[in-house]
A and B are shown apart, each in its own frame.
Chain A
Amino acid sequence: NAGVTQTPKFQVLKTGQSMTLQCAQDMNHNSMYWYRQDPGMGLRLIYYSASEGTTDKGEVPNGYNVSRLNKREFSLRLESAAPSQTSVYFCASRTVWQGPFNEQFFGPGTRLTVL
């Protein structure tokens, strides 16, 4: 199992350009998440998908859109990139159990710079 994979690993954009970050998981997880990580800010939730066919806004959704393409894939789109979106982006997934044990598995991250 590859776990959670993300592409690309690195990206440099110019202000106003658009791009899509791809995420896929092979663990048959129900829920998927997109976070951004900035120095001193921890992990902030951008969007999430509790199950296939649903998406919801997290803490910092402005400037982003998402698509839950199928159970495996969850993409994050920047329509018009801004320097404030320079960050490390992590995708995560977890299964939804009735019990308490439901850790999140993170992908390796995409390091995005917007000039």
Chain B
Amino acid sequence: GQQVMQIPQYQHVQEGEDFTTYCNSSTTLSNIQWYKQRPGGHPVFLIQLVKSGEVKKQKRLTFQFGEAKKNSSLHITATQTTDVGTYFCAGRGSQGNLIFGKGTKLSVKP
């Protein structure tokens, strides 16, 4: 079945360093969504990408959708302790439901 793979599983950075998580799908995606889950919290929607090659920015966060619409990335510039959490990508499956990657857990050392 359709899979959404996400790497790395964990990332430990020093505050101020950059961070990137990558998402790859076994099939072409109509769109991709990104969610953030703070420790002990629930996933919260960050953004959706729809167009091939699309790039969107939210302050220090940059989201990209690949040209072939099979991969995506989230890049955080100059991480802060408030960036701590798990970042999930999710693509729409054949039944219309979201298929989530396993997430990248980011820890930031002050």
Tell me which residues from 35 to 88 in chain A have a Cβ below 8 Å from any Cβ of chain B.
40-45, 48, 50, 56, 58
- Determine whether the beta carbon of B45 is less than 8 Å from that of A100: no
C-alpha gap A51/B45 in the complex (Å):
21
Q: Which residues of B contact A45 (CB under 8 A)?
A: 97-98
- Determine whether the beta carbon of A42 is less than 8 Å from that of B100: yes
C-alpha gap A60/B5 in the complex (Å):
18
Q: A79-115, CB under 8 A of B: which get 1 and which 0?
A: 0000000000010000000001101111111000000
Counting residue pairs across A and B whose Cβ atoms lie within 8 Å, the total is 43
Interface of B is mostly: loop
- Determine whether the beta carbon of A42 is less than 8 Å from that of B48: no
Q: B44-68, CB under 8 A of A: which get 1 and which 0?
A: 1100101000000000000000000
Q: Which residues of B contact A41 (CB under 8 A)?
A: 102
C-alpha gap A101/B33 in the complex (Å):
10
Number of interface residues of B (CB under 8 A): 22
C-alpha gap A40/B48 in the complex (Å):
24
Tell me which residues from 52 to 110 in chain B have a Cβ below 8 Å from any Cβ of chain A.
88, 95-98, 100-103
C-alpha gap A105/B98 in the complex (Å):
12
Q: Which residues of B contact A108 (CB under 8 A)?
A: 41-42
8 interchain pairs, CB-CB under 8 A: A42-B6, A42-B100, A42-B101, A100-B48, A103-B33, A103-B48, A105-B45, A108-B42
Binding site for B on A (CB under 8 A): 33, 40-45, 48, 50, 56, 58, 90, 100-101, 103-109
